[in-house]
Amino acid sequence: MTDTQQTGTTPGLRTVEADEVGKGGFRYFDFMMTAFVAILLLSNVIGADKAATLGGLKFGAGILFFPLSYLLGDILTEVYGYSRARRCVWAGFAAMIFLALMTFVVVKLPPAPGWSNQAAYELVFGQTGRIVLASICAFWAGEFVNAFVLARMKVWTGGRHLWTRTVSSTVFGQAMDSLIFYPLAFWDAPGFTHGLVITIMVTNWAMKVGWEVLLTPLTYLVVGFLKRAEGVEVFDTRTNFSPFGGKA
């Protein structure tokens, strides 16, 4: 796969298989990986538990941040290939577990005499174990579905029509994320009827997909810049798509 006119890839780029680029072969991969993990952690700290309203529409404030991790996941897979996106997902997964453990330890530490903010601290950072487990499981499954769909569609489309695979991968990835997170976190929880859980799940899924659609122009700009900077167009024709195997 080397003819950019046949594949519809960006002219002037060298078309390669994902496994043909050795370690250290990319200029900006480490920066993108760092941004992915940082946004993922921030989305679980800032706004994760806040119910917000805008124009009469109620939503979880974390929805403003979390979809950005899927946007970066799309960019990582499109520019660097599935195996390197898989590496980022595992890095994010490990970071989320570490965040959950450190938050639990710090919240449980006895406050110093005279420090009166323990209740507020627990309110902000004291997420239940059920929600933390649901968040970690949903992220892991959703991101791998997202990366798999985008990588396979890139091969099927010959690199054409980027928007079709970024939107489609988000539709499936966010669906998997929502199907795991909301029932696992809130099914039979106090104050949540089954109907309410399903309504929130569907509404937030639709909002996340809509957010991805709105950010499509930004996706094109970032992907275009990175591909030109890296000088290659990566395809995953021979990639091992197991979440647990393969090299990056």
Output the domain CATH number for residue 126. 1.10.1760
- Quote the CA–CA distance of 15 and 247 in Å, as a whole number: 19
Give start and end residues of each alpha helix (H) in 1-61: 4-7, 29-45
Q: Is residue 239 part of a domain?
A: no
Predicted confidence at residue 44, as pLDDT, reads: 75
- Quote the CA–CA distance of 22 and 248 in Å, as a whole number: 8
Q: Is residue 247 part of a domain?
A: no
- Quote the CA–CA distance of 203 and 194 in Å, as a whole number: 14
Q: Which domain holds residue 24?
A: 4-232
Both tokens of 142, joined, read 């959703």
Q: Is residue 70 part of a domain?
A: yes
pLDDT confidence tier of residue 70, bands split at 50, 70 and 90? confident
Candidates 15, 174, 7; CA nearest to 81 is 15
Q: Is residue 240 part of a domain?
A: no
Predicted confidence at residue 10, as pLDDT, reads: 66
Q: Is residue 220 part of a domain?
A: yes
pLDDT confidence tier of residue 59, bands split at 50, 70 and 90? low
pLDDT exceeds 50 at position 132:
yes
The residue type of 78 is E
In our burial notation (b when 16+ CB lie closer than 10 A, e otherwise), range 72-111 reads bbbbbbbbbbbbbbbbbbbebbebbeebbeebeeeeeeee
Cβ–Cβ < 8 Å for 191, 43: no
Q: Is residue 138 part of a domain?
A: yes
Q: Is residue 237 part of a domain?
A: no
> Could you give the number of structural domains in the chain?
1
Cβ–Cβ < 8 Å for 162, 219: yes
Phi and psi torsions of 28, nearest 5°: -115, 5
Alpha-carbon distances, residue 146 vs 70, 89, 128, 173 (angstroms): 8, 11, 27, 4
Q: Is residue 242 part of a domain?
A: no
Q: Give pTM, 2 decimals.
A: 0.86
Both tokens of 205, joined, read 């899924």
Quick: pLDDT tens for 222-240: 999 999 999 989 999 999 9
